[in-house]
């Protein structure tokens, strides 16, 4: 069965005040589940970044609802291979923290 | 920029590895892990334990076709003996919960705490609008690298969907006890303990322990409570406050404290309490207290069967996921049965407790997986293909539990370990030998031991089944692989069926020879079966009923589980005969009923090789209903085996649409189908299908305990998604008088 991965949204001293950890999740396979854990004291709502690098539209959120502080999201499941960039739609500041999920199929892990 | 991205990616890959998420897979053929054991007290005959459900990081392996292993956050059980407190093993292996050992007549007092940190798992709610997907676990799947789409699990609806995934309870599988209050009560929903600033509140646990102490004293004196109001007022008050606090703070649609009234838990609890019932929803902890009744013909119709039983999570909507996380443990009830075996073999007689699991963090894929990826492997006690040590010529008692959430395991053969183990059809298979001595925690009678427990007699262990084996090591030292065939049906109509044999475990034979040489216990010395396990006589049957599983994966008798609705009601202290059918052609749904075991006396397998071979006396001719009957060969014989799980044989499905179209054309009609087959054909949506269901017939006694409990498919995702019925045993007494 697929694996489950976590991306934490942690408080940070950077300008945005938060950071994704890990900012790049790799390797991930089709069917794996990814949940976001909001360790921040404000809500977050990560979603796919479109081709122009703009904040995600309502059709491309990772989850239906924003993630309240100190809670977790519902899972996001990659259905296709590719590299997915994401950012927080609630963060309207320029150049908000971004992250990447690399969906690259199942590869052999060295023993 | 591109270079920076690659550098960044590499750095994070290292970070992921440093976090310990993706790791090298553990080596196979490591020694068997023995779960910590908690014994009942021989002084006051009480099993006391604290069972904590927490979360932690454990190394999990991918399914077949996925070579990754990874550190995963899973829900897991820890057990503690209050009299001999020892820390729970902190190794990274996903071992089951503690093994409980008690004796017939003992009292069970297990303090259960749900201390899962919800934040580590996907958001999940307990209640929702019936039939809708409102609170089903939702996921969002990508349909490309730049788009996503919400997707619940297929077309599931509340309450028959994966939901409430960190809410649970404990099913004492195989116990003959009350299904109510503090007994084998699977209707409870025990939510995780509340937290403040992310931390557990020690005062809540202390308050629970104090209350449980009083509850156990009352239970020791009077038996399990019958009403919630019999519990200490402080506990009632505390639970009310906790449930209300949850209701007012829970996250709903992305915002805390906004849960609609109809989703709140206290309104339902308060109604139950007002009606004299037991509140369904509790927070953080629950006391389990019930006796393991020793048979007494003056007070009971049956007793607890001594044998290998188990416990596992069983909250509708989260059973599969929690069992897949590993919320299982072995529960051994000792009695004359194992006393006799130990007496026969002497003090050197060793037992192996083997919990088979199918560990995963996702009970079924949310999106189609690559065709090369299979399902989760079967582990034993937290390891793949572990090694059991035996001395040459030694006989051991193996207590095997199939705690997998999906797969059955057909025990095929042992062969000397080699790179090609389990792949050769001609390898010598006369080395390690076994004889089965018990099924589902109920010992065989000597006659059954001779008929069914023959040397290396293959058997299929469906999820939920247990088997006790006497296993004999050969005289030659070496490694021997136990080859098994995983399956969800031994016989299927067309494609599917058991997978090729694969290694389940390895026996390492070495050390000093056994002296004197051991052999299988002769039938005349076989433990005497308790009298209450005598066959149920046909003349005692008060009622007959029929249940039909399938053809949909989530339906019994054509419908999914319905909350608050009883599908079967049985009169206390009566015996019944049930015909349990399966119209699925590729899945042998494992039928399981709580509280009372049953005896199978007839079996119809329409997809057995004999039934599918023209000219064979057992051939099932789809055009001739007279052939839809059991084959004489392979029928159960008295004395019958007791079961509490049995995989219902698959049926045949034949598309007869073309034979049901009116002469002038148009939509097919049942009246136009061949008349002899009308009882077997259903015409729906322009298609007519003939169903020849497989079935078994069983007899069971609904004795000693009234109450509400369930029957269901033990492919646990099917149970969660609706293949379950609420049933009740009702009193045979009335308080009214007419004289």
Closest chain A residue to B28, measured at CA: A111
Q: Which of B637, B113, B61, B604 is nearest to B361 (CA)?
A: B61
Which element (helix H / strand E) includes B7? Answer: helix B2-18
Q: What is the DSSP string of B161-206?
A: SS--TT-B--EEET--S-SSTTSS-TT-EEEPPPEETTEE-HHHHH
In three-state form (DSSP H/G/I as H, E/B as E, the rest C), the secondary structure along B103-142 is ECCCEEEEEEEECCCHHHCCCCCCCCCCCCCCCCCEEEEE
Per the CB < 8 Å rule, is A60 touching B367?
Answer: no
Mean pLDDT of B288-305: 92
Mean pLDDT of B171-197: 97
When pLDDT is cut at 50, 70 and 90, the band that residue B4 belongs to is very low
pLDDT of residue B365: 86
Per the CB < 8 Å rule, is A109 touching B22?
Answer: yes
Mean pLDDT of B621-630: 97
Percent of all residues in chain B with a pLDDT value above 90, rounded to a whole number: 82
When pLDDT is cut at 50, 70 and 90, the band that residue B16 belongs to is very low
pLDDT of residue B152: 59
**pLDDT tens column, B242-275:** 999 999 999 998 899 999 999 999 999 999 999 9
Tokens of B392: 């040459």
Distance from chain centroid for Cα B172: 10
Tell me the chain A residues in contact with residue B369 when contact means C-beta distances shorter than 8 Å: 2, 30-31
Per the CB < 8 Å rule, is A77 touching B367?
Answer: yes
Q: How many helices (H) and strands (E) would you count in chain A?
A: 0, 9
Assess whether pLDDT exceeds 50 at residue B551: yes
pLDDT of residue B154: 67
Asked if B65 is an interface residue toward chain A (Cβ–Cβ < 8 A), one would say: yes
pLDDT of residue B19: 39
- Domain coordinates in residue numbering, chain A: 4-103
**pLDDT tens column, B138-174:** 888 887 766 777 765 567 889 999 999 999 999 999 9
Assess whether pLDDT exceeds 50 at residue A98: yes
Assess whether pLDDT exceeds 80 at residue B695: yes
When pLDDT is cut at 50, 70 and 90, the band that residue B377 belongs to is very high
Question: What is the ipTM score, two decimals?
Answer: 0.93
Number of Cβ pairs closer than 8 Å across A and B?
Answer: 191
Which of B148, B149, B256, B324 should be substituted to probe chain A, the one whose Cβ sees the most A Cβ atoms within 10 Å? B148
CB B308 within 8 A of CB B466: yes
**pLDDT tens column, B340-364:** 999 999 999 999 999 999 999 998 8
Per the CB < 8 Å rule, is B253 touching A82?
Answer: no
Distance from CA of B543 to the nearest CA of A (A): 43
Half-sphere exposure of B122 (CA within 13 A, CB side): 28
Helix (H, G, I), strand (E, B) or coil at A67: strand
pLDDT of residue B428: 67
Per the CB < 8 Å rule, is A82 touching B145?
Answer: yes
Arithmetic mean of pLDDT over chain B: 93
Assess whether pLDDT exceeds 60 at residue B5: no
Closest chain A residue to B148, measured at CA: A60
CATH number assigned to the domain covering A4-103: 2.60.40.420
Per the CB < 8 Å rule, is B67 touching A23?
Answer: no
Assess whether pLDDT exceeds 90 at residue B1: no
Distance from CA of B268 to the nearest CA of A (A): 25
CA B239 – CA B397 distance, rounded (Å): 44
Distance from CA of B242 to the nearest CA of A (A): 19
Mean pLDDT of B493-506: 90
CB B115 within 8 A of CB B284: yes
Q: Which of B557, B561, B559, B553 is nearest to B589 (CA)?
A: B553
CB B110 within 8 A of CB B288: yes
Who has greater pLDDT, B18 or B130?
A: B130
Mean pLDDT of B305-313: 97
pLDDT of residue B259: 92
DSSP B351: E
Residue ranges of domains in chain B, CATH in brackets: 2-197+292-343 (2.60.40.420), 351-531 (2.60.40.420), 535-651+693-730 (2.60.40.420)
DSSP B160: B
CA B52 – CA B172 distance, rounded (Å): 16
Closest Cβ–Cβ partner in B22, B118, B140 for A64: B140
Mean pLDDT of B367-384: 90
pLDDT of residue A58: 53
Assess whether pLDDT exceeds 50 at residue B14: no
Which residue has 């958001």 as its token pair? B123
Distance from chain centroid for Cα B509: 32
Q: Which of B410, B405, B505 is nearest to B463 (CA)?
A: B405
Closest Cβ–Cβ partner in A23, A48, A65 for B254: A65
Asked if B362 is an interface residue toward chain A (Cβ–Cβ < 8 A), one would say: yes
Assess whether pLDDT exceeds 80 at residue B429: no
Count the helix, strand and coil residues of chain B and give each as a percent rounded to the nearest 5: 15, 35, 50
Who has greater pLDDT, B409 or B152?
A: B409
Helices B233-249 and B266-274: crossing angle, nearest 10°? Answer: 150
Mean pLDDT of B705-724: 97
Assess whether pLDDT exceeds 70 at residue B382: yes
Mean pLDDT of A1-18: 92
Closest chain B residue to A72, measured at CA: B119
Q: How far is CA B430 from CA B49, B412, B486, in A?
A: 42, 12, 22
Per the CB < 8 Å rule, is A84 touching B369?
Answer: no
Asked if B198 is an interface residue toward chain A (Cβ–Cβ < 8 A), one would say: yes
Angle (nearest 5°) at CA B91 between B89 and B94: 90
Tell me the chain A residues in contact with residue B256 when contact means C-beta distances shorter than 8 Å: 68, 71
Asked if B118 is an interface residue toward chain A (Cβ–Cβ < 8 A), one would say: yes
CA B290 – CA B306 distance, rounded (Å): 16
Assess whether pLDDT exceeds 50 at residue B13: no
Mean pLDDT of B712-730: 98
Per the CB < 8 Å rule, is A24 touching B8?
Answer: yes
Closest chain B residue to A49, measured at CA: B146
Per the CB < 8 Å rule, is B148 touching A60?
Answer: yes
Helix (H, G, I), strand (E, B) or coil at B449: helix
Per the CB < 8 Å rule, is B65 touching A106?
Answer: yes
pLDDT of residue A37: 96
E strands in B444-532: 459-461, 466-472, 478-487, 502-509
Of B15-29, B100-114, B122-136, where does the model show the most confidence? B100-114
Chain B window 239-268: which residues touch A at a Cβ cutoff of 8 Å? 251, 253-256
Closest chain B residue to A51, measured at CA: B146
């Amino acid at each position: 069965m697929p694996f489950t991965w976590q991306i934490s949204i942690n408080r940070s001293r950077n300008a945005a005040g938060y950071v994704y950890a890990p900012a790049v999740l790799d390797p991930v396979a089709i069917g794996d589940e990814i949940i976001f854990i909001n360790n921040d004291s404000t809500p977050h709502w990560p979603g796919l970044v479109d081709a122009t690098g703009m904040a995600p539209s309502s059709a491309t959120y990772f989850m239906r609802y924003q993630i309240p502080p100190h809670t977790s999201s519902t899972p996001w499941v990659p259905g296709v291979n590719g590299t997915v960039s994401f950012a927080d739609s609630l963060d309207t500041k320029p150049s908000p923290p971004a992250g990447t999920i690399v969906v690259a199929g199942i590869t052999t892990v060295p023993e | 920029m591109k270079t920076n991205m690659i550098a960044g990616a590499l750095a994070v890959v290292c970070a992921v590895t440093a976090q310990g998420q993706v790791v090298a897979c553990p080596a196979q053929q490591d020694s068997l892990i023995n779960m910590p054991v908690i014994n009942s007290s021989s002084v006051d005959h009480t099993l006391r334990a604290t069972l904590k459900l927490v979360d932690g990081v454990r190394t999990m392996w991918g399914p077949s076709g996925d070579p990754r292993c990874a550190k995963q956050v899973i829900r897991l059980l820890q057990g503690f003996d209050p009299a001999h407190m020892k820390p729970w093993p902190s190794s990274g292996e996903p071992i089951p919960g503690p093994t409980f050992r008690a004796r017939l007549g003992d009292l069970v007092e297990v303090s259960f705490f749900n201390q899962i940190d919800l934040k580590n798992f996907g958001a999940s709610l307990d209640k929702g609008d019936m039939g809708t997907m409102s609170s089903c676990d939702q996921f969002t799947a990508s349909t490309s690298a730049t788009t996503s789409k919400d997707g619940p699990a297929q077309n599931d609806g509340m309450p028959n969907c994966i939901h409430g995934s960190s809410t649970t309870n404990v099913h004492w599988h195989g116990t003959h006890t009350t299904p109510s209050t503090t007994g084998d009560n699977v209707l409870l929903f025990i939510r995780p303990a509340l937290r403040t600033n992310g931390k557990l509140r020690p005062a809540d646990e202390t308050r629970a322990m104090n209350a449980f102490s009083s509850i156990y004293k009352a239970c020791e004196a009077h038996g399990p409570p019958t009403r919630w109001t019999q519990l200490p007022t402080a506990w009632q008050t505390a639970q009310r406050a906790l449930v209300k606090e949850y209701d007012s703070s829970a996250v709903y649609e992305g915002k805390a404290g906004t849960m609609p009234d109809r989703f709140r838990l206290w309104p339902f609890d308060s109604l139950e309490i007002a009606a004299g019932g037991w509140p369904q929803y509790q927070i953080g902890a629950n006391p389990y207290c019930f006796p393991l009744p020793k048979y007494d013909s003056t007070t009971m119709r049956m007793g607890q069967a001594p044998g290998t039983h188990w416990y596992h999570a069983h909250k509708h909507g989260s059973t599969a996921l929690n069992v897949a996380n590993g919320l299982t443990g072995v529960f051994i009830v000792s009695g004359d049965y194992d006393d006799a075996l130990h007496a026969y073999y002497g003090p050197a007689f060793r037992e192996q407790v083997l919990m088979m699991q199918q560990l995963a963090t996702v009970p079924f894929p949310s999106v189609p997986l690559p065709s090369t990826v299979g399902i989760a492997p079967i582990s034993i006690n937290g390891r793949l293909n572990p090694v059991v040590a035996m001395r040459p010529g030694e006989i051991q008692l193996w207590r095997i539990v199939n705690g997998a959430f999906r797969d059955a395991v057909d025990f095929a053969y042992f062969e000397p370990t080699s790179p090609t183990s389990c792949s050769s059809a001609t390898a010598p298979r006369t080395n390690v030998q076994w004889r089965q001595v018990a099924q589902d925690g109920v010992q065989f009678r000597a006659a059954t031991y001779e008929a069914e427990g023959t040397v290396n007699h293959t058997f299929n262990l469906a999820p939920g089944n247990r088997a006790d084996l006497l296993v004999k090591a050969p005289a030659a030292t070496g490694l021997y692989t136990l080859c098994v065939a995983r399956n969800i049906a031994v016989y299927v109509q067309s494609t599917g069926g058991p997978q090729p044999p694969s290694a389940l475990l390895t026996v390492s034979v070495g050390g000093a020879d056994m002296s004197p040489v051991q052999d299988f216990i002769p039938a005349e010395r076989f433990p005497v079966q308790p009298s209450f396990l005598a066959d149920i006589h046909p003349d005692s049957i008060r009622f007959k009923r029929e249940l039909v599983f399938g053809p949909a994966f989530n339906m019994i008798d054509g419908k999914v589980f319905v909350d608050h609705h009883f599908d079967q009601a049985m009169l206390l202290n009566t015996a019944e005969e049930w015909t349990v059918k399966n119209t699925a052609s590729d899945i042998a749904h494992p039928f399981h009923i709580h509280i009372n075991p049953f005896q199978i006396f007839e079996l119809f397998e329409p997809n057995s090789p004999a039934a599918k071979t023209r000219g064979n006396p057992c051939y099932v001719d789809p055009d001739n209903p007279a052939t839809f009957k059991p084959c004489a060969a392979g029928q159960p014989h008295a004395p019958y085996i007791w079961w509490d799980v049995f995989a219902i044989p698959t049926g045949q499905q034949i598309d007869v649409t073309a034979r049901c179209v009116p002469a002038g054309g148009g939509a097919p009609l049942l009246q136009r189908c061949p008349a002899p087959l009308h009882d077997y054909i259903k015409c729906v949506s322009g298609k007519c299908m003939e169903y020849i269901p497989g079935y078994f017939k069983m007899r069971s006694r609904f004795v000693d305990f009234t109450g509400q409990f369930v029957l269901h498919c033990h492919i646990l995702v099917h149970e969660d998604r609706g293949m379950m019925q609420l049933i009740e045993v009702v009193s045979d007494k009335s308080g009214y008088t007419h004289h």
